[in-house]
A and B are shown apart, each in its own frame.
Chain A
Amino acid sequence: MLLKKTKGFKPLLITIVFVYLLWLLGLPLWTLIQEAYQEGWTKISQELFSLEVLRAFGLTLLLCLSAVVFNGIFGTALALVLVRQNFRGKSLIFGLLDLPFAISAVVVGYALILLFGHGGILAGMAEALGIRLVFSVPGMVIATLFVTFPFVVRELLPVLQELGEEQEQAAATLGASPRQIFFSVTLPNIKWPLLYGLSLSFARALGEFGAVLVVGAGIAGFTETATIFVFRALEERMYAGAYGASLLLILLSLILLISMEAVKKAKN
């Protein structure tokens, strides 16, 4: 109502939004492309296909996929338990769900080092299992899982709540076993929000820096992810590599965002 009455106010607002977005998103991206162009595309592609960059991207992909697999299984299971079961401390778990959003990833990484590192409470357990968790890939997987954990659960909770149990009960009276019920009734009903939650987890894992750096220590060619590589390349003035890796990360994010939009449409 206010917008209609004041002439010229609406175009002004839209202009502000555009300028803001351009300044915040467009300009940095443009500068990056500009700088990369000046470095020369040949040099950049050479850098991109160097072993350490390939390894860094390989590791990032591995972390992203572990986030997808683990959150897919445990996120779905947790959401089902939270919606379907009543137990003491349920509200506490609900409160803790968003913890990874609130806690700094660096703190998370540090906490994991304290937990699994020398003298940590779970150090013995990790040792007994023969897994090295600190300054290693398994530790980075755990850190990634921590920061990506809320996405699938948060996406599924309202959907499961709305879905209710009647379709599943109807399937049961028709003779479906619990496994058949899950795969032929529950899963088809939650597949789009699940896929959306998994894309968010993937995106978060792709861009994660702090937690994986602290836990993995960013050892080049070993525990160095794509984002950590960009950081190191900039510090060591390897600009071609930094720009190349940055642009590739942006490209991956864009592909992910576009597919997420498609998922979102299907979801609704």
Chain B
Amino acid sequence: MGVEVKNLSKEFNTAQGVHVAVKGVSFEVEEGSLSALLGPSGSGKSTVLRMIAGLETPDSGEVFLNGEAVCHLPPQKRGVGFVFQNYALFKHLKVSENISFGLKLKKVPAEEAQARVEELLVLFGLAGLGERYPHQLSGGQRQRVALARALAPKPKVLLLDEPFGAVDAKIREELRDWLRKLHEDIHVTSLMVTHDQEEALEICDKIVVMNQGLIEQVGKPEEIYNTPASEFVAHFVGSMNIVETKAKAKQVNVGPYRFETEKFDDIEKGDPVKLFFRPQDIYLSSNLKIYRSHGTIERVSFLGINMKVELKSEEGFRFFAIIPQYIFQREGFKEGQVVSYHIEEMSYLNLREGGEIKKFTVSNYL
């Protein structure tokens, strides 16, 4: 196992009192994989990463790097590479000196270090920039220098704290692709912290979703997205329509849908139930005969390749759909228009019982 975290906890004393940042967190990251700690700000993800690096001391728990317990070791002895959001480059050193910093400390012979720096400059698309100072580089270049510096001493594990948080959206996308490709080339066990779910979904092999110091779900990107384990994950990862309702005697009503409670083995009369459905799981048609349910388009927003369509059903139930631009054009949708629709995939959570969210196919339960 590349990184293993067991029961990690950490409290901070703040002016407002004790803040429990991480509450008994355990997870594993496979050797050679690229994984993400995903969560909103304040979820404790950065604290976990910093504890793995030794930059924070856990109150309890243990960290294993390649099977070896490291909590008693200072950051210097852990063999991790760390990349900061704001690069943290040594401002007074040239790019090449930044990259060779760790090599010098390891007493790598000068010639060998020089060769390694040259190799990294090329690999990281920084050829010819070795003699520049960090302030003479763009944000994207700086972050690549920071990565090269962290990787130069060949660390066991690479830790990245919001690595693309400080660069423009366009550069962020480029860096993201580039990091994925780089990782495919060098296969160093990597764990990155991000609040950007798109970033995590796109480039990571595994995602650990954190919220309020706890782990909500661990899984592959498609598992996290398709079968969110908790309401938080459902809400945080991707867009989601969420409807809260109450099971009546025999039915759960959501807009035009009447689900019979007996078809669900865990819903009884009076249970508060939440239903979730993705905006892209909604079919829309301008032909009112295509689908049984009808609603009015209240608002249309342009999202680039997609369109966001906000609807109000005949029953007064509001939700939004995301449909590809070409379908939107073909159907000729506009605000105020009455359309027919169908929602095929839904998930539900019985709030009385709690537990996991369960997915079902709507047409089988009507």
Contact = CB atoms under 8 A, between A and B. Distances in A.
Interface of A: 166-167, 169-177, 180, 184-185, 188-189
A167 B98 CA distance: 11
A171 B78 contact: no
Contacts of B153: 174-175
20 contacts: A170-B84, A170-B149, A170-B150, A171-B101, A172-B55, A172-B75, A173-B54, A173-B150, A174-B102, A174-B149, A174-B153, A175-B76, A175-B105, A175-B106, A176-B76, A176-B101, A180-B105, A184-B101, A185-B90, A189-B91
Contact of B88 (A167, A177, A180): A167
Contacts of A180: 105
Contacts of A184: 101
Interface string B103-123: 001100000000000000000
A166 B84 contact: yes
A173 B75 contact: yes
A128 B203 CA distance: 70
Contacts of B125: none
B165 interface: no
Contacts of B84: 166, 169-170
Interface string B81-96: 1101010111110000
Contacts of A174: 81, 101-102, 105, 149-150, 153
What are the nearest 3 A-B pairs in CB distance? A174-B102, A166-B88, A173-B82
A176 to B, nearest CB: 6
Interface string B135-164: 000000000001001100100000000000
Contacts of A176: 76, 101, 105
Q: Which of A167, A177, A185 has the most CB of B within 10 A?
A: A167
B90 A173 contact: no
Q: Which of A166, A174, A176, A184 has the most CB of B within 10 A?
A: A174
B92 A172 contact: no
Contacts of A166: 84, 86, 88
A221 to B, nearest CB: 46
A206 B54 CA distance: 47
Interface size class of B (residues with CB under 8 A): 20 to 34
A175 B81 CA distance: 10
Contacts of B146: 170
Given A175-B76, A177-B76, A170 B88 contact: yes
Nearest to A188: B92
A110 B226 CA distance: 78
Interface in B44-87: 53-55, 74-76, 78, 80-82, 84, 86
Nearest to A163: B91
Contacts of A170: 82, 84, 88-90, 146, 149-150
Given A170-B84, A173-B81, A175-B102, A189 B92 contact: yes
Contacts of A175: 76, 102, 105-106, 153
Contacts of B74: 172
A87 to B, nearest CB: 11
Contacts of B90: 167, 170-171, 185, 188
Contacts of B53: 173
Contacts of B91: 167, 189
Nearest to A187: B92
B16 to A, nearest CB: 14
Contacts of B80: 173
Given A174-B101, A177-B76, A180-B105, A169 B82 contact: yes
Interface in B189-216: none
Nearest to B85: A166
Given A167-B88, A167-B91, A173-B76, 15 more contacts: A167-B90, A169-B55, A169-B75, A169-B82, A170-B90, A170-B149, A171-B101, A172-B55, A172-B75, A173-B82, A174-B153, A175-B105, A175-B153, A177-B76, A188-B90
A172 B84 CA distance: 13
Nearest to A180: B105
A169 B90 CA distance: 11
Q: Which of A169, A172, A173 has the most CB of B within 10 A?
A: A173
Nearest to B93: A188
B118 to A, nearest CB: 19
Nearest to B81: A173
Interface in B252-300: none
B47 to A, nearest CB: 14
A175 B80 CA distance: 9
A200 to B, nearest CB: 23
A174 B158 CA distance: 11
Contacts of A189: 91-92
A159 to B, nearest CB: 12
B89 to A, nearest CB: 8
A33 B115 CA distance: 64
Q: Which of A166, A170, A177, A180 has the most CB of B within 10 A?
A: A170
A172 B88 contact: no
A177 to B, nearest CB: 7
A175 B75 CA distance: 7
Contacts of B92: 188-189
A206 to B, nearest CB: 30
A160 to B, nearest CB: 14
A133 to B, nearest CB: 41
Contacts of B86: 166
Contacts of B150: 170, 173-174
A169 B87 CA distance: 11
Nearest to B91: A189
A174 B81 CA distance: 7
A167 B53 CA distance: 14
A167 B153 CA distance: 17
B101 A169 contact: no
